[in-house]
């Protein structure tokens, strides 16, 4: 088996048969397989995939339950094969599958280690993107190049191919979150893979709709942070601290608003509750978006975080007082207490509120 083409799918039932037909037309009778990795799409994509596979042994499907994410699905597909080379392609026919043989040839002849379909080089075009999406994509490209030093004209491309052994070597350090698996690969490989670019025209989506949304943008920022800090600090903690810093502003604003009519202690208590509430909802939307709480779990989660973070304030105070008593200068002891509180709050949020596995 020379090549495994992986197509992650979420609600692509109207596209999988056509993709399979086109990939077969492009790659010929044998030496390849096409693997759809479906996150249990409500539109029954996997049923269509099983039907195609029943008549064509070159096509198979992986069904993932209780998980979502393009990068994770692509990784899982690429790790499921014994083929020498692995490729990722969108299932909605936006990528140009006729490039697959040329990309494969670049790898097999040893000319390159990573073959990338690009919209932003001579001969490429991003025709299938709206104006807003195109400028967003260009901005993200510039940001990624600057921050990560990735030398690709289109690091946001979802269309690429590499040798399976290279992928397997890099896989433990790749993030399953978000859309940007190629950027992650290139940044993690740190220039060790020789790149060949293949310009193509990004087509308009066939059936169905795009899954790109605000979460995908947050995942992208998280990936940039992770790679820019060389994976030194967990990205989740960075988001948690940013949310916490914003919570401090909420606390100040609430304090100023309440102070007019109340005693200092009452105003401060109200401000702390306001800050914890804001932090809870922001963390639920951003930091813990992959296990976002909803409905009843949202209410219990909020109550739990009041209790847990209340204890965090006690820990903060205890550490600061202890260090100050041990002779540390006041501001230093105070910051150390704050740090202690932040780490405590993060730990209990992970363990008891959002229960990260
Ligand atoms: N399994 C799985 N799980 N597949 C997913 C998920 C998911 O959560 N989200 C999206 N997909 C699949 C889609 O079904 C589609 O086959 C492919 O991933 C791309 O998703 P789209 O929703 O069509 O994304 P897009 O067109 O906005 O952006 C794509 O093309 C860009 C240009 O190449 C992505 O591939 C981007 O990464 C890429 O920059
Ligand atoms: Mn698409």
Ligand 1 site-directed mutation target among 212, 215, 223, most atoms within 8 Å of CB: 212
CA of 196 to the centre of ligand 1 (A): 22
Q: Are residues 287 and 145 in the same domain?
A: no
Indicate which CATH number applies to the domain containing 40: 3.90.550.10
Q: Is the pLDDT of residue 251 over 90?
A: no
Ligand 1 site-directed mutation target among 88, 117, 158, 200, most atoms within 8 Å of CB: 158
Q: Which pLDDT value is given to residue 160? A: 97
Task: Name which of 10, 7, 5 is nearest 212 in CA terms.
Answer: 10
Q: What confidence tens digit (pLDDT) does each residue in 6-64 have?
A: 999 999 999 999 999 999 999 999 999 999 999 999 999 999 999 999 999 999 999 99
Q: What confidence tens digit (pLDDT) does each residue in 82-131 have?
A: 999 999 999 999 999 999 999 999 999 999 999 999 987 776 777 677 88
What secondary structure does DSSP assign to 101-136, as a single string? Answer: HHHHHHHHTTS-SEEEEESSSTT-B-TTS-HHHHHH
Average pLDDT of the residues in 260-274: 86
Q: How far is CA 151 from CA 133, 163, 230, 331, in A?
A: 22, 19, 17, 44
Q: How confident is the model at residue 278 (pLDDT cuts 50, 70, 90)?
A: very high
Which of 212, 228, 244 represents a domain boundary (last residue)?
228
CA of 92 to the centre of ligand 2 (A): 6
Q: Which residue has the higher pLDDT, 2 or 357?
A: 2
Average pLDDT of the residues in 165-190: 89
Q: Are residues 218 and 242 in the same domain?
A: no
Which of 198, 228, 258 represents a domain boundary (last residue)?
228
Q: Are residues 247 and 300 in the same domain?
A: yes
Pick the ligand that lies closest to the CA of residue 119.
Answer: 1
Ligand 1 site-directed mutation target among 6, 8, 181, 207, most atoms within 8 Å of CB: 8
Residues with CB under 6 A from ligand 1: 8-10, 12, 37-39, 68-70, 73, 90-92, 94, 156-159, 179, 202, 205, 210-212
CA of 13 to the centre of ligand 1 (A): 14
Of the chain, the percentage scoring pLDDT greater than 70 comes to 99
Specify the ligand 1 atom closest to the Cα of 128.
26
Q: Which pLDDT value is given to residue 26? A: 98
CA of 181 to the centre of ligand 2 (A): 15
Q: How far is CA 317 from CA 155, 267, 334, 349, in A?
A: 46, 19, 8, 19
Query: Near ion ligand 2, which residues have CB within 5 Å?
Result: 90, 92, 94, 205
Q: What is the 3-state secondary structure (H, E, C) of 236-280?
A: HHHHHHHHHHHHHHHHHHHHHHHHCCCCHHHHHHHHHHHHHHHHH
Q: Is the pLDDT of residue 235 over 90?
A: no
CA of 250 to the centre of ligand 1 (A): 36
Q: How confident is the model at residue 340 (pLDDT cuts 50, 70, 90)?
A: confident
Q: Which pLDDT value is given to residue 226? A: 81
Highest mean pLDDT among 32-41, 173-182, 207-216, 281-290 belongs to 32-41
Residues 6 or more apart whose CB falls under 8 angstroms from that of 263 comprise: none
Q: Which pLDDT value is given to residue 337? A: 82
Q: Are residues 66 and 158 in the same domain?
A: yes
Q: Which pLDDT value is given to residue 67? A: 86
**Average predicted confidence (pLDDT) for the chain:** 90
Q: Which pLDDT value is given to residue 111? A: 96
Specify the ligand 1 atom closest to the Cα of 11.
14
Which of 169, 196, 228 represents a domain boundary (last residue)?
228
Q: Which pLDDT value is given to residue 77? A: 98
Q: Are residues 139 and 105 in the same domain?
A: yes
- State the residue range of the domain holding 219: 3-228
Residue for token pair 């198979």 = 60
The total of structural domains in the chain comes to 2
Q: Are residues 211 and 245 in the same domain?
A: no
Q: Which residue has the higher pLDDT, 155 or 125?
A: 155
Is residue 284 classed as helix, strand or coil in its secondary structure?
A: helix
Q: Which pLDDT value is given to residue 291? A: 84
Q: Are residues 206 and 92 in the same domain?
A: yes
């Amino acid at each position: 088996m020379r090549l495994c083409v992986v197509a992650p799918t979420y609600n692509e039932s109207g596209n999988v048969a056509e993709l399979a037909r086109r990939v077969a037309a492009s790659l010929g009778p044998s030496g390849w397989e096409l693997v759809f990795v479906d996150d249990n799409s409500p539109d029954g994509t996997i049923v269509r995939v099983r039907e195609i596979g029943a008549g064509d042994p070159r096509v198979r499907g992986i069904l993932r339950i209780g998980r979502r994410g393009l990068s994770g699905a692509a990784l899982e597909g690429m790790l499921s094969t014994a083929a020498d080379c692995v490729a990722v392609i969108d299932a909605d026919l936006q990528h140009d599958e006729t490039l697959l043989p040329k990309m494969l040839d670049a790898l097999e002849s040893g000319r390159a280690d990573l073959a990338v379909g690009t919209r932003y080089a001579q001969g490429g075009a991003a025709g299938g993107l709206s104006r807003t999406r195109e400028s967003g994509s260009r901005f993200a490209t510039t940001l990624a190049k600057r921050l990560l030093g990735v030398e690709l004209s289109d690091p946001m491309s979802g269309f690429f191919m590499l040798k399976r052994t290279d992928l397997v070597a890099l896989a433990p350090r790749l993030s399953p979150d978000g859309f940007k698996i190629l950027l992650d690969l290139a940044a993690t490989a740190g220039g060790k893979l020789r790149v060949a670019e293949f310009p193509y025209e990004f087509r308009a989506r066939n059936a169905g709709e795009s899954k790109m949304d605000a979460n995908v943008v947050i995942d992208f920022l998280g990936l940039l942070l992770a790679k820019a800090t060389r994976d030194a600090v967990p990205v989740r903690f960075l988001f948690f601290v940013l949310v916490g810093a914003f919570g401090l502003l909420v606390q100040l604003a609430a304090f100023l608003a309440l102070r007019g009519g109340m005693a200092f202690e009452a105003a401060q208590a109200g401000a702390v509750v306001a800050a914890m509430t804001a932090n809870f909802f922001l963390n639920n939307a951003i930091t813990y978006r992959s296990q976002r709480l909803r409905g009843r779990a949202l209410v219990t989660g909020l109550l739990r975080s009041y209790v847990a973070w209340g204890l965090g304030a006690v820990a903060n105070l205890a550490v600061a007082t202890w260090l100050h008593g041990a002779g540390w200068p006041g501001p230093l002891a105070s910051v150390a207490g704050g740090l202690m509180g932040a780490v405590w709050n993060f730990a209990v949020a992970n363990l008891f509120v959002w229960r990260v596995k």
